[in-house]
Chains A and B, each alone.
Chain A
């Protein structure tokens, strides 16, 4: 938990975003989130080309326990989805920060990413709720 990748920024609702270098953002859920949800059995992703607003429900992950909405960390257009998750939703449990990414967006602007929590701030929100 303490070794969160430093290139990630977070929403308090446990989504992460990473700048890919080509201007796109990769989106996923945190290790804390996958741990709390338990084993995932289904992931419903947006479609390529979908327009999403920051804070909008953009995906659903379902574990053996419950369904959880995934909020989009930034406004933009969906450019890629992790199709491997259809057969292997457990990749999110196994590798929440790399193989278990959910989808990518082309953000409308950089402001939303800049406004997200950095790793330290996100960790602080977890300590508050513990």
Chain B
């Protein structure tokens, strides 16, 4: 996947305004099959796969180490009672697979890395209506609810994505992916690269593994408490004890940051309050939708009690500039949600 196909900013706008396609085949689909895969996933994931009460439902979750740090963030799909599909980040997949294999020794589970599959994500307000006819006459496809998937012949289609827009993620045999890509482009869908993928997900307030998520930080420190299934208390998932201890003294807040001055926020910039370091940006960049620079950041929780909390400074290469703490996301379904 290239950084861009010409203009990163233009690609970003195309996804917000009409439709774009991302070749995310570098991500890794893994199928878990067997009578114990539910039990295995209940142990491996901080979210509870038992929330998937029927086939064709999807769940976002972190996979944690015993310290509560994030090994990876992933989507798990329930294909059948004893068949689940995980989609893993490319950079973490090898480590994930080792971790999963190591913990599956006492479980009856077959783990299959699907190297035969490609993944094309079509995203944007018109993405579904353009994509659907190209996939064939698939019953129920346009009625597929968000965060659900369906399978039809060799196609696996999920109504999920990483842009804050509606759309499909289509997992299909690699041999057929080129043709679908060409048909999408011919139908007017813009090819979109990694650069726009990053600004789109940042505007949508979605975490990127390796920047906003890492093995040193728990989901509680990356705004992902909603992905932790604390109930039932009897479910003993890896990292639970560490998270429980951390939860009793919440020590950071994950939030959006809007640059009030001119300039560009990047990851790793220090946030200041009355000249004290109170946080750090984990992702940052120029938002083409807001036409302002934005960041995701981790801020000390005790600063949040200060009424001036929403006004902080950021250190941009030695110069202090004004920033405002704002709720995530910045953009939802094409609309700016941040007061500018």
Q: Using an 8 Å CB-CB cutoff, how does the interface string of B238-265 with A read, 1 for contact, 0 for none?
A: 0000000000000000000000001110
Shortest distance from the beta carbon of B14 to any chain A beta carbon, whole Å: 14
| Residue A64 interfacial (CB < 8 Å) | yes
Chain A: interface residue total (CB-CB under 8 A): 12
Chain A residues with CB under 8 Å of B317's CB are 60, 67
**A64 lies within 8 A of B262 (CB):** no
Q: Which of A7-15, A36-44, A74-82, A102-110 forms contacts with chain B?
A: A36-44
Which residues 10-58 in A have Cβ within 8 Å of B in the complex? 38-39, 41-42, 44
**A67 lies within 8 A of B266 (CB):** yes
**B264 lies within 8 A of A38 (CB):** no
Choice from A39, A66, A67 contacting B9 with Cβ under 8 Å: A39
| Residue A118 interfacial (CB < 8 Å) | no
Chain B residues with CB under 8 Å of A39's CB are 7-9
Chain B residues with CB under 8 Å of A67's CB are 264, 266, 317
Give Cα A44 to B317, complex, Å: 12
**B195 lies within 8 A of A62 (CB):** no
**B8 lies within 8 A of A42 (CB):** no
Q: Using an 8 Å CB-CB cutoff, how does the interface string of B189-212 with A read, 1 for contact, 0 for none?
A: 000000100010000000000000
Choice from A38, A44, A65, A66 contacting B262 with Cβ under 8 Å: A44
Chain B residues with CB under 8 Å of A41's CB are 9, 264, 286, 293
Q: Using an 8 Å CB-CB cutoff, how does the interface string of B49-60 with A read, 1 for contact, 0 for none?
A: 000000000000
Closest to A90 in B: B9
| Residue B285 interfacial (CB < 8 Å) | yes
Give Cα A57 to B126, complex, Å: 46
CB-defined A-B contacts under 8 Å, sample of 26: A38-B4, A38-B8, A39-B7, A39-B9, A41-B264, A42-B262, A42-B263, A42-B264, A42-B286, A42-B293, A44-B262, A62-B263, A62-B264, A62-B286, A64-B8, A64-B9, A64-B195, A64-B285, A64-B286, A65-B3, A65-B195, A66-B266, A67-B264, A67-B266, A67-B317, A86-B262
- B residues with a Cβ closer than 8 A to A are 3-4, 7-9, 195, 199, 262-264, 266, 285-286, 293, 317
- A residues with a Cβ closer than 8 A to B are 38-39, 41-42, 44, 60, 62, 64-67, 86
